[in-house]
DNA sequence: TCGGGCCATGTTACAGTGTATCAGCCGCAC
DNA sequence: GTGCGGCTGATACACTGTAACATGGCCCGA
């Protein structure tokens, strides 16, 4: 996974070990840095809570539930309630820093600098649990044409595909 | 809504009153008849519970939650637990008689005789709560091409669009 | 400086969604 | 009859999400 991301995010690694995803400090770091800059530009507060939630999600590289996030952030005297996580996620989602995966009730960090209106396609691998997002202009225009013909005015689009990613397919083929 | 359904379901009516959807006996009837036939063909049991769940969903014409369905089926001495509804919905979903709307955690009856592999687009109106499903071959082929390029093997696709349907848009324009 | 408004967060409670598990029933094949 | 598998009932529980209220910090105008 991620090997086929249309827009790579700087360092070339794959999160597709047999164990699923691993925490990646570099992903988390670049994500928070980008978010910090973006919030500053927009005059919004990038609070520690929001930063930490984003860092956890970004480090994971696969969809995480709000309660999982809360759990990861808690410990060592700190207790983060799921409500707080939800609020932070609301904020991050509004700012396009995090995306919600409806089919999983989970969240992933957005690693693309796509425009506001862009509709994304999420590719979720059933085998490794990894996820990738990509823009697909051809799909988008075809969909827009279909909607226009139907007289429907869209405000948001959800496009999630489940299946098997290239890496897993390859591995399965090799291993039998 | 439904005015633009690509494949009509027999009688020409719209479920878009100002009050949202109404129960439609004819929708329910045709849906259960079709389901009965289909189950017979496939050698599956179309039990009373499954029939009733389908009838409730079909009569509604908009996404219904499992607990809503259970509530509607209960009363007058009969009590249907949500678990039973879920099981029936699992069955109906597997048979393609009902679709799950991920973004709403709700279910709608399928009124089309589309093939097994067809991927559907769901149009959900924020104003009237109505929903329509349509096949969109152009979208599908564009998506397939994109996935193939990414090396991703899809097993299921979710395509849900929120917005305003033609009827609501027209009404809003008229009423100011 | 004081007060008020706004925002972010904490806290509790609760509503809504979904699954695991066990038990009973029924039809059917052996 | 006996066993088996599929369907349903029932309870309990896990997971997901929101409402409501309280607190503390910050800025801003009086």
Which domain CATH number covers B115?
1.10.10.10
What is the number of structural domains in chain A? 1
pLDDT in tens, A124-166: 999 888 999 999 999 999 999 999 999 999 999 999 999 999 9
The pLDDT mean for chain A works out to: 84
Instruction: Place B137 in a pLDDT band, splitting at 50, 70 and 90.
Output: very high
The pLDDT mean for chain B works out to: 83
Domain of A70 in residue numbering reads as: 25-175
Q: A159: which chain B residues are within 8 Å (Cβ-Cβ)?
A: 143, 157-159
Among B119, B158, B165, B143, smallest CA distance to A142 is for B143
The pair of structure tokens assigned to A103 is: 């089919």
Q: Is residue A127 part of a domain?
A: yes
In percent, how much of chain A has pLDDT > 90?
A: 63
Torsion of CA B40, B45, B51, B57, to 10 degrees: -90
Q: Is residue A12 part of a domain?
A: no
Q: Is residue A20 part of a domain?
A: no
Q: Which residue has the tokens 């109404």?
A: B22
B5 pLDDT above the threshold of 90: no
pLDDT in tens, A21-44: 445 656 556 888 889 988 988 889
Asked if the Cβ of residue A139 lies within 7 A of any atom of strand D, the reply is: no
Q: B126: which chain A residues are within 8 Å (Cβ-Cβ)?
A: 155
Contact call for B139 and A132, based on CB within 8 A? no
Q: Is residue B35 part of a domain?
A: yes
Name which of B4, B153, B161 is nearest A151 (Cβ-Cβ).
Answer: B4
CA B41 to C1' C29, in angstroms, rounded, equals: 22
Tell the burial category of A17 from Cβ atoms under 10 Å away from its Cβ (0-12, 13-18, 19+). exposed
Q: Is residue A71 part of a domain?
A: yes
Instruction: Place B16 in a pLDDT band, splitting at 50, 70 and 90.
Output: very low
CA B97 to C1' D30, in angstroms, rounded, equals: 66
Name which of A141, A152, A155 is nearest B166 (Cβ-Cβ).
Answer: A152
Going from the C-alpha of B127 to that of each of A117, A156, A157, the distances in angstroms are 21, 14, 16
pLDDT in tens, B118-130: 789 999 998 888 9
Q: Which position has the higher pLDDT, B132 or A14?
A: B132
Q: Please tell me which residue of chain A has the smallest CA distance to B151.
A: A166
A82-94 vs A66-73: helix axis angle to the nearest 10?
110
Q: Is residue B76 part of a domain?
A: yes
B22 pLDDT above the threshold of 80: no
Asked if the Cβ of residue A71 lies within 7 A of any atom of strand D, the reply is: no
């Amino acid at each position: 996974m991620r090997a086929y991301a249309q827009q790579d995010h700087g360092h070339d690694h794959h999160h597709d070990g047999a164990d699923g995803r691993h925490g990646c400090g570099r992903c988390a770091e670049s994500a928070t840095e980008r978010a910090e800059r973006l919030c500053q530009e927009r005059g919004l507060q990038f609070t520690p809570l929001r930063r930490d939630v984003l860092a956890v999600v970004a480090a994971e590289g696969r969809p995480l539930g709000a309660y999982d996030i809360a759990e990861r952030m808690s410990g060592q005297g700190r207790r983060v309630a799921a409500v707080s996580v939800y609020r932070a996620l609301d904020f991050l989602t509004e700012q396009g820093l995090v995306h919600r995966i409806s089919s999983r009730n989970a969240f992933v960090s957005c690693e693309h600098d796509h425009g506001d209106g862009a509709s994304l396609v999420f590719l979720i691998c059933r085998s490794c649990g990894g996820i990738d997002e990509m823009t697909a202009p051809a799909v988008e225009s075809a969909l827009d044409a279909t909607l226009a013909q139907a007289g429907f005015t869209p405000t948001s689009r959800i496009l999630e595909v489940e299946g098997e990613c290239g890496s897993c397919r390859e591995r399965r083929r090799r291993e039998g």
